[in-house]
Copies of this chain bind each other. A is one copy, B any other.
Amino acid sequence: MKLGIVGLGLIGGSLGLDARALGHVVVGVSRKLSTCQRAISRGAVDDASVDLSILSTVDIVVLCTPLSDILTTTEKVLPFLPKTSILTDVGSVKAPIVAQMQALLIQANAQNPFVGGHPMAGTANAGIESAIPNLFRGNPYVLTPTSTTPDNAVAVVADLVRSLGANLYKCDPSTHDRAVALISHLPVMVSASLIQVCTAERDPLVRELAIQLASSGFRDTSRVGGGNPELGRLMAEFNTDALLASLHQYRSQLDRIIGQVEAGEWNALEARLVETQRDRPLYLKEHLKE
Protein backbone atom coordinates (compact mmCIF):
# COMPACT_ATOMS: atom_id res chain seq x y z
CA MET A 1 0.00 0.00 0.00
CA LYS A 2 1.18 3.55 -0.64
CA LEU A 3 0.65 6.02 2.21
CA GLY A 4 0.73 9.79 2.04
CA ILE A 5 1.45 11.59 5.30
CA VAL A 6 0.63 15.29 5.42
CA GLY A 7 2.40 16.97 8.33
CA LEU A 8 5.70 15.42 9.40
CA GLY A 9 5.79 16.02 13.15
CA LEU A 10 5.80 13.59 16.08
CA ILE A 11 2.67 11.72 14.93
CA GLY A 12 3.27 11.87 11.18
CA GLY A 13 6.94 10.98 11.50
CA SER A 14 6.31 8.11 13.93
CA LEU A 15 3.55 6.75 11.68
CA GLY A 16 5.94 6.86 8.73
CA LEU A 17 8.64 4.92 10.61
CA ASP A 18 6.16 2.16 11.50
CA ALA A 19 4.45 2.06 8.08
CA ARG A 20 7.77 1.68 6.27
CA ALA A 21 8.82 -1.04 8.71
CA LEU A 22 5.56 -2.82 7.78
CA GLY A 23 6.56 -2.71 4.09
CA HIS A 24 4.38 0.18 2.91
CA VAL A 25 5.68 2.90 0.62
CA VAL A 26 5.41 6.24 2.40
CA VAL A 27 5.52 9.72 0.92
CA GLY A 28 5.38 12.82 3.08
CA VAL A 29 4.38 16.44 2.72
CA SER A 30 5.52 19.35 4.84
CA ARG A 31 5.44 23.10 4.33
CA LYS A 32 9.14 23.20 5.17
CA LEU A 33 11.74 21.73 2.84
CA SER A 34 14.10 21.13 5.80
CA THR A 35 11.46 18.98 7.50
CA CYS A 36 11.02 16.95 4.30
CA GLN A 37 14.77 16.38 4.14
CA ARG A 38 14.97 15.38 7.83
CA ALA A 39 12.02 12.97 7.43
CA ILE A 40 13.84 11.28 4.53
CA SER A 41 17.17 11.07 6.36
CA ARG A 42 15.48 9.73 9.52
CA GLY A 43 13.82 7.00 7.44
CA ALA A 44 10.29 8.17 8.27
CA VAL A 45 9.37 8.44 4.57
CA ASP A 46 10.62 7.06 1.28
CA ASP A 47 10.24 10.48 -0.25
CA ALA A 48 8.87 13.85 0.82
CA SER A 49 8.13 17.17 -0.78
CA VAL A 50 6.62 20.61 -0.27
CA ASP A 51 4.89 19.94 -3.60
CA LEU A 52 1.47 18.30 -3.14
CA SER A 53 1.70 16.42 -6.43
CA ILE A 54 3.79 13.84 -4.56
CA LEU A 55 0.42 12.56 -3.30
CA SER A 56 -0.91 11.76 -6.79
CA THR A 57 -0.66 7.97 -6.49
CA VAL A 58 -1.32 7.25 -2.78
CA ASP A 59 -3.93 4.75 -1.54
CA ILE A 60 -4.47 6.49 1.75
CA VAL A 61 -3.71 9.99 3.06
CA VAL A 62 -3.18 10.53 6.77
CA LEU A 63 -3.67 14.15 7.77
CA CYS A 64 -1.23 14.75 10.64
CA THR A 65 -1.37 18.54 10.87
CA PRO A 66 -2.47 20.38 14.01
CA LEU A 67 -6.22 20.26 14.66
CA SER A 68 -6.72 23.83 13.48
CA ASP A 69 -5.15 23.12 10.06
CA ILE A 70 -6.89 19.88 9.09
CA LEU A 71 -9.66 21.37 6.98
CA THR A 72 -7.63 23.99 5.15
CA THR A 73 -4.96 21.37 4.47
CA THR A 74 -7.58 19.00 3.06
CA GLU A 75 -8.87 21.71 0.71
CA LYS A 76 -5.34 22.11 -0.64
CA VAL A 77 -4.43 18.43 -1.05
CA LEU A 78 -7.77 17.23 -2.44
CA PRO A 79 -7.15 18.26 -6.08
CA PHE A 80 -3.91 16.23 -6.11
CA LEU A 81 -5.34 12.94 -4.79
CA PRO A 82 -6.48 9.89 -6.76
CA LYS A 83 -10.29 9.77 -6.73
CA THR A 84 -10.30 6.50 -4.78
CA SER A 85 -7.74 7.33 -2.10
CA ILE A 86 -8.98 7.22 1.48
CA LEU A 87 -8.59 10.21 3.81
CA THR A 88 -8.08 9.89 7.54
CA ASP A 89 -6.89 12.35 10.21
CA VAL A 90 -5.34 12.19 13.68
CA GLY A 91 -7.13 15.14 15.31
CA SER A 92 -7.96 14.88 19.02
CA VAL A 93 -11.53 16.16 18.51
CA LYS A 94 -13.82 14.41 16.07
CA ALA A 95 -17.42 15.66 15.74
CA PRO A 96 -16.66 19.11 14.22
CA ILE A 97 -13.82 17.74 12.08
CA VAL A 98 -15.93 14.87 10.73
CA ALA A 99 -18.93 17.09 10.00
CA GLN A 100 -16.92 19.82 8.30
CA MET A 101 -14.84 17.28 6.39
CA GLN A 102 -17.94 15.56 5.03
CA ALA A 103 -19.39 18.93 4.01
CA LEU A 104 -16.11 19.91 2.35
CA LEU A 105 -15.95 16.66 0.37
CA ILE A 106 -19.54 17.08 -0.87
CA GLN A 107 -18.89 20.70 -1.79
CA ALA A 108 -15.73 19.71 -3.70
CA ASN A 109 -17.71 16.93 -5.39
CA ALA A 110 -15.00 14.49 -4.26
CA GLN A 111 -15.64 10.77 -4.01
CA ASN A 112 -12.82 10.12 -1.50
CA PRO A 113 -14.06 8.46 1.68
CA PHE A 114 -13.04 10.02 5.00
CA VAL A 115 -12.54 8.05 8.24
CA GLY A 116 -11.98 10.21 11.34
CA GLY A 117 -9.22 8.94 13.59
CA HIS A 118 -7.54 9.76 16.89
CA PRO A 119 -4.42 7.95 18.06
CA MET A 120 -4.13 8.50 21.84
CA ALA A 121 -0.36 8.54 21.82
CA GLY A 122 2.30 11.15 22.24
CA THR A 123 5.32 12.24 24.14
CA ALA A 124 6.24 15.58 25.73
CA ASN A 125 8.11 16.47 22.53
CA ALA A 126 7.03 17.62 19.07
CA GLY A 127 8.50 17.72 15.58
CA ILE A 128 10.14 15.28 13.21
CA GLU A 129 13.17 14.90 15.52
CA SER A 130 10.93 13.37 18.24
CA ALA A 131 9.39 10.76 15.92
CA ILE A 132 9.95 7.25 17.30
CA PRO A 133 9.07 3.70 16.23
CA ASN A 134 6.17 1.95 17.99
CA LEU A 135 4.63 5.18 19.30
CA PHE A 136 1.13 3.72 18.83
CA ARG A 137 1.81 0.19 20.13
CA GLY A 138 -0.40 -0.66 23.11
CA ASN A 139 -2.15 2.72 23.01
CA PRO A 140 -5.78 3.39 22.09
CA TYR A 141 -6.56 4.50 18.53
CA VAL A 142 -10.16 5.58 17.97
CA LEU A 143 -11.88 5.58 14.58
CA THR A 144 -15.15 7.49 14.23
CA PRO A 145 -16.98 6.40 11.07
CA THR A 146 -20.49 7.72 10.48
CA SER A 147 -23.49 6.14 8.75
CA THR A 148 -22.22 7.48 5.41
CA THR A 149 -18.64 6.22 5.72
CA PRO A 150 -18.06 3.26 3.32
CA ASP A 151 -17.34 0.03 5.20
CA ASN A 152 -14.39 -0.90 3.02
CA ALA A 153 -12.66 2.42 3.78
CA VAL A 154 -13.15 1.85 7.52
CA ALA A 155 -11.73 -1.66 7.12
CA VAL A 156 -8.59 -0.39 5.35
CA VAL A 157 -7.87 2.21 8.05
CA ALA A 158 -8.72 -0.27 10.83
CA ASP A 159 -6.24 -2.78 9.37
CA LEU A 160 -3.55 -0.11 9.31
CA VAL A 161 -4.30 0.85 12.94
CA ARG A 162 -4.16 -2.79 14.07
CA SER A 163 -0.92 -3.35 12.19
CA LEU A 164 0.65 -0.53 14.26
CA GLY A 165 -0.07 -2.57 17.40
CA ALA A 166 -2.59 0.03 18.61
CA ASN A 167 -5.80 -0.89 20.45
CA LEU A 168 -8.59 -0.11 18.02
CA TYR A 169 -11.88 1.45 19.18
CA LYS A 170 -14.74 2.47 16.94
CA CYS A 171 -17.51 4.85 17.97
CA ASP A 172 -19.46 7.79 16.65
CA PRO A 173 -17.68 11.17 16.71
CA SER A 174 -19.81 12.60 19.53
CA THR A 175 -19.19 9.63 21.86
CA HIS A 176 -15.46 10.06 21.26
CA ASP A 177 -15.57 13.78 21.99
CA ARG A 178 -17.56 13.35 25.21
CA ALA A 179 -15.21 10.61 26.44
CA VAL A 180 -12.03 12.60 25.77
CA ALA A 181 -13.65 15.69 27.31
CA LEU A 182 -14.04 13.69 30.54
CA ILE A 183 -10.62 12.07 30.75
CA SER A 184 -8.41 14.52 28.89
CA HIS A 185 -9.84 18.01 28.34
CA LEU A 186 -11.70 18.46 31.65
CA PRO A 187 -8.61 17.44 33.69
CA VAL A 188 -6.63 20.26 32.03
CA MET A 189 -9.15 22.88 33.18
CA VAL A 190 -9.55 21.30 36.65
CA SER A 191 -5.80 21.21 37.10
CA ALA A 192 -5.18 24.71 35.74
CA SER A 193 -7.79 26.13 38.15
CA LEU A 194 -5.88 24.57 41.05
CA ILE A 195 -2.65 26.33 40.06
CA GLN A 196 -4.53 29.60 39.68
CA VAL A 197 -6.01 29.38 43.20
CA CYS A 198 -2.50 29.16 44.66
CA THR A 199 -1.16 31.98 42.50
CA ALA A 200 -4.16 34.14 43.44
CA GLU A 201 -3.70 33.61 47.20
CA ARG A 202 -3.60 37.11 48.65
CA ASP A 203 -1.65 36.46 51.86
CA PRO A 204 2.02 36.42 50.82
CA LEU A 205 2.99 34.31 53.86
CA VAL A 206 0.45 31.63 52.94
CA ARG A 207 1.42 31.73 49.26
CA GLU A 208 5.14 31.42 50.03
CA LEU A 209 4.58 28.57 52.52
CA ALA A 210 2.34 26.78 50.01
CA ILE A 211 5.16 26.95 47.47
CA GLN A 212 7.59 25.50 50.03
CA LEU A 213 5.26 22.74 51.25
CA ALA A 214 3.88 21.57 47.88
CA SER A 215 4.68 17.91 47.46
CA SER A 216 3.94 15.02 45.11
CA GLY A 217 0.17 15.38 45.55
CA PHE A 218 0.19 18.94 44.26
CA ARG A 219 2.72 18.04 41.58
CA ASP A 220 0.50 15.31 40.14
CA THR A 221 -2.81 17.14 40.43
CA SER A 222 -1.35 20.23 38.75
CA ARG A 223 0.62 18.48 35.99
CA VAL A 224 -1.77 18.71 33.03
CA GLY A 225 -2.82 22.24 34.05
CA GLY A 226 0.79 23.32 33.57
CA GLY A 227 1.01 21.80 30.08
CA ASN A 228 1.03 23.27 26.58
CA PRO A 229 -1.34 26.33 26.58
CA GLU A 230 -1.96 26.13 22.83
CA LEU A 231 -3.14 22.51 23.10
CA GLY A 232 -5.41 23.47 26.00
CA ARG A 233 -6.90 26.28 23.95
CA LEU A 234 -7.47 23.99 20.93
CA MET A 235 -9.23 21.37 23.10
CA ALA A 236 -11.65 24.04 24.29
CA GLU A 237 -12.05 25.70 20.89
CA PHE A 238 -12.78 22.47 19.00
CA ASN A 239 -14.51 20.42 21.70
CA THR A 240 -16.51 23.28 23.19
CA ASP A 241 -19.86 21.56 23.71
CA ALA A 242 -18.53 18.37 25.29
CA LEU A 243 -16.03 20.27 27.43
CA LEU A 244 -18.71 22.67 28.66
CA ALA A 245 -21.03 19.80 29.54
CA SER A 246 -18.25 18.11 31.52
CA LEU A 247 -17.31 21.39 33.22
CA HIS A 248 -20.90 21.88 34.37
CA GLN A 249 -21.08 18.29 35.62
CA TYR A 250 -17.80 18.87 37.42
CA ARG A 251 -19.09 22.01 39.08
CA SER A 252 -22.11 20.08 40.33
CA GLN A 253 -19.87 17.43 41.89
CA LEU A 254 -17.67 20.11 43.43
CA ASP A 255 -20.71 21.91 44.81
CA ARG A 256 -21.85 18.68 46.46
CA ILE A 257 -18.50 18.40 48.21
CA ILE A 258 -18.61 22.07 49.23
CA GLY A 259 -22.12 21.51 50.60
CA GLN A 260 -20.99 18.51 52.62
CA VAL A 261 -18.03 20.39 54.08
CA GLU A 262 -20.23 23.40 54.91
CA ALA A 263 -22.80 21.19 56.61
CA GLY A 264 -20.18 19.12 58.42
CA GLU A 265 -21.54 15.93 56.84
CA TRP A 266 -18.34 14.01 57.49
CA ASN A 267 -19.78 10.53 57.06
CA ALA A 268 -21.27 11.48 53.70
CA LEU A 269 -17.97 13.04 52.62
CA GLU A 270 -16.05 9.94 53.64
CA ALA A 271 -18.56 7.73 51.79
CA ARG A 272 -17.95 9.83 48.67
CA LEU A 273 -14.19 9.37 49.03
CA VAL A 274 -14.70 5.64 49.52
CA GLU A 275 -16.46 5.67 46.14
CA THR A 276 -13.69 7.57 44.38
CA GLN A 277 -11.05 5.28 45.90
CA ARG A 278 -13.07 2.31 44.65
CA ASP A 279 -13.69 3.72 41.15
CA ARG A 280 -10.29 5.13 40.21
CA PRO A 281 -8.56 1.80 39.47
CA LEU A 282 -11.09 1.24 36.64
CA TYR A 283 -9.26 3.95 34.70
CA LEU A 284 -5.75 2.55 35.24
CA LYS A 285 -4.75 0.09 32.57
CA GLU A 286 -1.77 -2.18 33.02
CA HIS A 287 0.76 0.25 31.55
CA LEU A 288 -0.55 3.05 33.77
CA LYS A 289 -0.25 1.16 37.03
CA GLU A 290 1.62 3.05 39.73
* A23 on interface, CB distance cutoff 8 Å: no
A276 to B: closest C-beta gap in Å: 4
Pick from B140, B221, B244: contact of A262, CB below 8 A: B244
A49 to B: closest C-beta gap in Å: 33
Binds B, one of A33-41, A69-77, A224-232: A224-232
Expressed in whole angstroms, the Cα–Cα distance for A285 and B210 within the complex equals 12
A67 to B: closest C-beta gap in Å: 13
Pick from B167, B187, B264, B269: contact of A221, CB below 8 A: B187
**Copies of the polypeptide in the assembly:** 2
C-beta contact mask, A246-262 vs B, less than 8 Å → 1, else 0?
11111101110110111
Expressed in whole angstroms, the Cα–Cα distance for A253 and B255 within the complex equals 14
With A276-B196, A279-B199, A283-B219 in contact, do A243 and B224 touch (Cβ < 8 Å)? Answer: no
Q: Does B184 contact A232, Cβ atoms closer than 8 Å? A: no
Instruction: Say whether chain A's binding surface is mostly helix, strand, loop, or mixed.
Output: helix
* A182 on interface, CB distance cutoff 8 Å: yes
Give the one of A189, A246, A248, A290 with max B CB within 10 A. A189
Expressed in whole angstroms, the Cα–Cα distance for A232 and B260 within the complex equals 13
* A108 on interface, CB distance cutoff 8 Å: no
Q: Does B273 contact A192, Cβ atoms closer than 8 Å? A: yes
C-beta contact mask, A275-290 vs B, less than 8 Å → 1, else 0?
1110111111100101
C-beta contact mask, A149-168 vs B, less than 8 Å → 1, else 0?
00000000000000000010
With A192-B257, A270-B232 in contact, do A213 and B186 touch (Cβ < 8 Å)? Answer: no
Q: Given contact pairs A179-B206, A221-B223, A244-B262, enumerate 13 new A-B contacts (beta carbons under 8 Å).
A: A142-B213, A167-B212, A175-B206, A192-B276, A193-B257, A195-B276, A196-B279, A210-B283, A219-B284, A225-B280, A232-B269, A248-B258, A254-B254
Q: Which residues of A are in contact with B by a Cβ distance under 8 Å?
A: 120, 139-140, 142, 167, 169, 171, 175-176, 178-180, 182-184, 186-201, 203, 205-206, 209-230, 232-233, 236-237, 240, 243-244, 246-251, 253-255, 257-258, 260-262, 264, 266, 269-277, 279-285, 288, 290
